[in-house]
Amino acid sequence: MKLIDQYEKEGNSIQVDSLLTTKDAVIDIKQIFILGNNVYVSFDMEHERILITETADVFIQKNKEFLKTLTKKAYSKINSCKCDSCQ
């Protein structure tokens, strides 16, 4: 398994630590990884805090109309990493 930060297909792009707003939920993209010959995306939703994993191509196809709402999550000192280099 290889972790990646971004996946793009046919002009549609998804990124780790981004939020995607759909008509039903806000999706929090946690991981994108390559396993075998497939790329997968793991995410959760604001109303269902369980980790869901599906192929990146299926994720993009299902959410294509909402990809324009993709925004990078903003971190603050309250919820960011606590290591010395981040403080």
Enter the DSSP assignment of 69: G
| Position 75 confidence tier, pLDDT thresholds 50, 70, 90 | low
Residue 79 has pLDDT above 70, yes or no: no
| Position 87 confidence tier, pLDDT thresholds 50, 70, 90 | very low
Q: Which H or E run includes 41?
A: strand 38-45
| Position 81 confidence tier, pLDDT thresholds 50, 70, 90 | low
What predicted TM-score, i.e. pTM, was given to this entire model?
A: 0.79
Enter the DSSP assignment of 16: T
Tokens of 43: 């995410």
Comparing 15 with 48, the larger pLDDT belongs to 15
Residue 45 has pLDDT above 80, yes or no: yes
Residue with tokens 């010395």: 84
